[in-house]
Amino acid sequence: MTWGNEIRLPFALAYFGGPTPSSFEFHPGYNTLLNHLWADPMFLLHPHFVTSENPTFWFEVIRALDVHTFLPVFFLEVRSPSDLESMEKRERADMQTRARMAELVGTCYPSSKLCF
């Protein structure tokens, strides 16, 4: 599948915007992509911004069952490309992802194959 310019352009701007793009520069690209993939109004894209020593953000796609019930379907944490160069940062990201997956056990939408 080839993505259209409306999806590719925000990623291109993040990569070519400077020598060391931050994770926040990828927000428009992932926002556009995830909204495209989950275009059904029953799925909601919920961005979370984390401020710490290494600011980052993550997206959670949730399924609305009714006005009060939302179940997670998918999540994606986005970090800057420079984090791939550090084994320590990669291990920390792995542990954070494992902890997040443990939090989601038993809460995902029943037909979801994306969470686990």
Region 72-94: what's the mean pLDDT? Answer: 79
Give the range among 14-23, 34-43, 63-72 with minimum mean pLDDT. Answer: 14-23
Q: Would you say residue 116 has pLDDT above 50? A: no
Count of CB atoms within 10 A of residue 63's CB? 20
Quick one: pLDDT at residue 99? 82
pLDDT of 64 reads: 82
Res. 31: pLDDT tops 70:
yes
Q: How confident is the model at residue 110 (pLDDT cuts 50, 70, 90)?
A: low
